[in-house]
Amino acid sequence: MAEGWKLNEGSISFQVVSEDQLWTVVVKTLSSKSMKTTTYKFALLRAILENLYKTDSNLEITFLQLAKSFAKLYWNLVIENEYSQGQSTQIEKELKEFQIAYKIPKGISFDSIIEVHRENLIEKIEKKILNRYVIGALFEDIDRIVYGFSKKEKKITLTQSSWEFLLKYQTSIYKLVNYELAKFLQDKNPYISTGIVLEEIENITKRESLRKYQQMLLSYSENECFYTGKILPVIAASIAVDHFVPWSFVHSDELWNFVLTSQSLNSKKGSKLPAERYLDKIHVRNQHFLQIGDIHVKSEMEKYEFQRFKKLYQYAEINGFEKGWTPS
């Protein structure tokens, strides 16, 4: 069998597989039984989890979507936090060359890079790292049962079985990936005396600012708290953009999952799931957004499906998120 990273196409072995089979390949991939000289496989698994809600109707994820998650993780690890990935890793070399070429200071986060430069970096990572070394290697490691891929079409395709499995067990898999990633990085960075905190790894790709979403929500929905109906103050700093289904489950920022509320109420809600009656309300709001002609809103709402959103809500509860929160 050819080495996975050399493949240009990868066909899925079985369309329907059991949860036991999927758990077996995930655990094997994350364990010492799988050859890992870099953190690429951890990063790709994270990227797939972060894009589960951005698949199209065929459960496809483009290489560029994955490269965006991939680039953000590595930039924040290598450039912002200065965690080495090991001697002579290609990803570290590419990032540092990019940093020098665009005169970007040390300690700058991915979200703080000028947008056009950020897009250039994502394309560079997609072409030189993800496409070349990573997609095919993980494909082989997971026994060809989670996704297929095409380098010509620049996409991976999940099976219905694997998509459901990753969604259902997302929190557990995410924590496993982060734990193994942290262990790997600690080995490569022995000077970090206090160790790399898992919580830091978990949140290293969290968006710094939700201002653009706040502006969209204020422009195209009423300036009131989603949960109470009360008019929100005109001061933007007093208005919170809340993840309806918590970010710590979704690990992605989606307009269809955002609502406006007050800062104080957002703090009280925390990582709880709103009461089920709010599902219909947010769907009505999202139906309104689907009718808006603004190109940015259209792009954000492109992958929205209510049945998938309900499944996301249900699986968040299965993963231990407290359900039934209300303002009172």
pLDDT digits (tens, 9 = 90+) for 92-112: 999 999 999 999 999 999 999
Task: State whether 173 and 253 are in the same domain.
Answer: no
Task: State whether 118 and 178 are in the same domain.
Answer: yes
**Number of domains, the chain:** 2
Task: State whether 218 and 180 are in the same domain.
Answer: no
Looking at the DSSP bridge assignments, the partners of residue 33 are none
Task: State whether 65 and 45 are in the same domain.
Answer: yes
- 260 pLDDT above the threshold of 90: yes
Task: State whether 219 and 190 are in the same domain.
Answer: no
Residue-number span of the structural domain to which 81 is assigned: 4-202
Are 274 and 283 a contacting pair, CB within 8 Å? no
The confidence score (pLDDT) of residue 32 equals 73
pLDDT in tens, 182-240: 888 888 888 775 556 677 888 899 888 899 999 999 999 888 999 999 999 877 778 99
Task: State whether 241 and 173 are in the same domain.
Answer: no
Task: State whether 197 and 215 are in the same domain.
Answer: no
The confidence score (pLDDT) of residue 191 equals 77
Are 4 and 137 a contacting pair, CB within 8 Å? yes
pLDDT in tens, 20-41: 999 999 999 988 766 667 889 9
Average pLDDT over residues 124-151: 94
Last residue of a domain, one of 177, 202, 227: 202
pTM of the model: 0.91
- 274 pLDDT above the threshold of 60: yes
Task: State whether 144 and 227 are in the same domain.
Answer: no
Task: State whether 74 and 50 are in the same domain.
Answer: yes
The confidence score (pLDDT) of residue 196 equals 64
